[in-house]
A = this chain, B = another copy of it.
Amino acid sequence: LDEDAIRAARLRQDSLTKPRGSLGRLEDVSVRLAGIAGQCPPPLPLPAVVAVFAADHGVHAQGVSPWPQEVTAQMVANFLAGGAAVNAIAAQAGADVRVVDIGVATPLPAAAGLLSRKVRAGTADMTTGPAMSAQEALRAIETGIEIARGLVANGHRCLITGDMGIANTTASAALIAVFTGADPAAVTGRGTGIDDPTLALKVDVIRRALALHSPDPADPLEVLARVGGLEHAALVGLMLGGAAERVPVLLDGVIACSAALAAMAFAPSVTGFLFAGHLSTEPGARRALDALGLEPLIDLGLRLGEGSGAVLALPVVATAARVLRDMATFDSAGVSGEKA
């Protein structure tokens, strides 16, 4: 981050017509946006775009989700038709939606708005072998980087993480357990809303996968390949690419947070470019955010994924930039200061 821009943003915040610090965390967000862009005031993080990476998971075969695997592809069609939650939330926030097939199990027909970047047709079952090869994980990361660069080249000034993949909270919990050292039971949640027996099974599945692979958190590519998902790897790329392009990246819930841990393992400084859009109710989300050193902007009990919670936070981030850019100073407005 650009320290000169950060200093200038802090000074400017303190000159605006309001008691110092009275805009709370909005002020911190604006200062970090200045550091990301390397200028004060920073540009508004608009237009913004949510990139929804869709992929399937071989671990679904273990019964970790009550939803059939074909729902991943059906929801891709729903995104493209504009009928999903992320579409409605993005429409209200004025954000664009791009859908990326990074690894859906079935072939998807070409469609406007769909980026076909399938690395493989879903991962393999992590309880019986690696989810994918290191080469495939790397290809998904590179795809995410390319997509980030392309979106910024097309004028987007804020990247928002989105995801779709039945069973992807299982891979997320496995990644969070590896990167934070937490016990799987502490970071595994109910996902779409599973019952107690299924939750117990899910924790056991993760334990077995970790016992099989003993992934080394210092080798994030291997961690992603063994227990991650294709959308996780692509999201790592989106984050690294966004940071390289000096635009803010808004994280959605537990899938994005788990991917961010991998991104941080590759490049610790990436966290300066990330904002936690919201706090998912998945227990792993809080644990991951703590490890990332990020505080969520919104906490409304969402647990949907797709990018929904991150897009919901876009107006907060945009407002922070707007305040720093547009507010009058005490001098310019002729407003008296506090008595000494």
Residue ranges of A at the interface with B (Cβ–Cβ < 8 Å): 16-26, 66-68, 70-71, 74-75, 77-78, 81-85, 87-89, 91-93, 192-193, 281, 297-304, 308, 312, 315-316, 318-319, 322-323, 325-328, 332-339
Contact = CB atoms under 8 A, between A and B. Distances in A.
Contact of A322 (B68, B91, B322, B332): B91
A336 B68 contact: yes
Contacts of A75: 17, 335
B19 A78 contact: no
A25 B300 contact: yes
B92 A318 contact: yes
A20 to B, nearest CB: 7
Contact of A92 (B70, B74, B88, B315): B315
In the A-B complex, list the 3 residue pairs whose CB atoms are closest, starting with the nearest: A83-B328, A24-B301, A19-B192
Contacts of A68: 336, 339
B192 A74 contact: no
A333 B303 CA distance: 21
A24 B302 contact: yes
B319 A312 contact: yes
A90 B248 CA distance: 22
A193 B19 contact: yes
Nearest to A297: B300
Contacts of A24: 281, 300-303
B301 A333 contact: no
Given A333-B78, A334-B74, A339-B67, A303 B22 contact: yes
B326 A91 contact: yes
* Number of copies of this chain that the complex holds: 2
A322 B74 contact: no
A83 B24 CA distance: 19
A245 B191 CA distance: 40
A287 B323 CA distance: 29
Contact of A74 (B22, B316, B335): B335
A88 to B, nearest CB: 4
A45 to B, nearest CB: 11
27 contacts: A17-B83, A19-B303, A21-B193, A22-B192, A22-B302, A23-B304, A24-B300, A24-B303, A68-B339, A70-B336, A77-B333, A78-B333, A83-B326, A83-B328, A84-B328, A85-B327, A87-B326, A88-B322, A89-B322, A89-B323, A92-B315, A92-B322, A93-B319, A192-B338, A298-B298, A298-B316, A299-B299
Given A81-B328, A83-B327, A333 B74 contact: yes
Contact of A66 (B87, B299, B303, B338): B338
Given A20-B193, A24-B302, A68-B339, 11 more contacts: A18-B85, A23-B308, A26-B302, A68-B336, A75-B335, A78-B335, A85-B323, A92-B318, A93-B319, A300-B316, A312-B315
